[in-house]
Structure 1
Amino acid sequence: MKAMMKASRMLLLSKKRFTALLVALLTATAESAHADQKISIIVAGIEKQIYLPVKLAEQLGYFSQAGLDVELLTDRNGINAETQLLSGAVQGVVGFYDHTINLQARGKLVKSVILLTQTPGEAVLVSESASRNITSIAQLSGNAFGVTGLGSSTNLLIRYLAQQAGIKATAINIVPVGAGDNFIAALSQGRVQAGITTDPTISRLTSSGRAMVLLDLRNIKETRSALGGLYPAASLYMPNAWVATHRDEVQKMVTAIGKALTYIQTHTAAEIAEQMPVSFYANDKESYVVALKNSKEMFTTDGKMPDGGPETVLNVIKDFDKNLKGKHINLQNTFTNEFMSSTR
């Protein structure tokens, strides 16, 4: 009898162990399948320092640690990145926040789920040869000015800045020249006399003496003065519908990028640069580090949209984005801070 009871207990124990093993196996399989669901994010110029937190999160392994399979793609033109999102080729864009406003005006609802920078992180540059005649925005009249692309955020910004300086945007010959090496070539060859771009392109041109800074929108003080307040710029924006149906994935992505923002605030520019691919330095690591050191304040500390920020952006672009004419924009539908509470 005792032998039968012992055998029964052993059988029951074996069943419990089998059940526990089966549950663990199924859970692991589900987690693996979940991690295998690739999330494609396109960055509007992945080597640009304004988008540093996303690449840094990948380099530090924060995405994989969260169980995410994130693919970072790149296209230096924010308009092209936006097109990829609308086609369904990617799930999100790391680009300028103002695209969420433009898209809402066109009937496409997308929202920023984490804000990377609270300033444009850009500078208006003038070539060395033109710097003697152009010492202010007002003197850009009659000159060729380089922007990333027509309809881009850089295009909207220079048109606003021209208006504020008392000249018509049409008085400036706005030329789409792209970014990086293409921007440098256009300025160096005299195809444009001035332009607006980001680091590391800014530092490459200024450190070599080929250009001078006319207006620095990397720092908070000049941004407030020129644009009327903090200016939400670099962000991760995604379709509202995708965010609603993939809240767990969005939370993990926001948490990973939030950790990268914290890393930026708690490490030196040199330490951060060590984590980045060598190709990002453009053969000038020293200038890359100096640029990052001088502009770290552009990054948000918590990824949250600042109060009044969306209103500042709308005020800047409303007169120059033809899609906004006669449209009511619900700014509360263009961003969310709801995923930030779990990022620390």
Structure 2
Amino acid sequence: MKKIGLLLAILACISPDLFAQGAKNIRINEVMTDNESSIVDEFGNHKAWIELCNASFTTVNIRGMYITTDKSVLNEDLSAPQRQALMSLIPNGDESTLLSGNQHFILYCNGNPKDGSRHITAKITEGEPVWVALYDGNGVELIDSVTVPALSVNQSYAREKDGSANWVVRGSKNVTPGIANTPNINNKIARTKAEDPHGFAITILAMGTVFSCLALLFVFFRVLGLIMDHINTTKKIANAYPLKPVTSTITTTAKIGAEVLDTTGKLMKDGLKLKGIDKKVYIAVIAMAIKQYEDDVHDVESGIISIKPKSTTWNAPKFNNEIKK
């Protein structure tokens, strides 16, 4: 029994030191003083926020610690209760206050603790410098502090890397609330998880991409179908109304012309020799040749019928005048 009691006494003495060592690994990691389009709280409001980070690989519970933006707590004449009255307590009752190694925790300022365990009363004025400090649960030991310069809208003041000593001003596109400050692929994944915890945005994006591709495929195949229909229609018309080859007509015409010239030449030669053939014979031969030529080239065009006017008694001027009388 004495050994057990001695062991418990040793553990009781060591435990506060171990807790203190764990608390010293908590760092103020990033601060935003003017939040217009960054993260929102559970009520959808944009508020100034402070990010804490566990810079160790051990688990630390930050409940019971204090956050303050009031420099009057540095007055050494103040007692612990007086300091605590000027600070904001990180309340109990939230499992997320148990930070594992390299985990982050967001606190919303200018709030009311009744709104939730992440809302603290620490005051931050937009566009003005502010001093932020983290105190141990006794309200006396200062764990970490930083003086934040005046920031523009949606800018943050953050460590270059989690827990590092160097601080930088980050633009609105480079703030990293709730995730590691080191930009890498895992950081982008973490940012996506933080901004879209339920996956609605990525689902809508994926569905939009799929439906856009389907719409493009529909338009492509629709246009291709119209082109193929036009080609098929053209082929059907060409097969239904084939064009006669012009070469054969030209060849036939040339052949007829040669025959006419040959025949006419012979007749003229014979007529001159015989001196008895009437000129009417020559005219008749030439007329027959022209008639044969016209019959051969008539209606060469496919689907076109040529109709020549012909005078009859119905359209004769004399006949029409007699009817009118």
TM-score range, shorter chain: under 0.3
Higher relative contact order, chain-length normalized (CA < 8 Å, sep 6+): 1
**TM-score normalised to structure 2 length:** 0.22
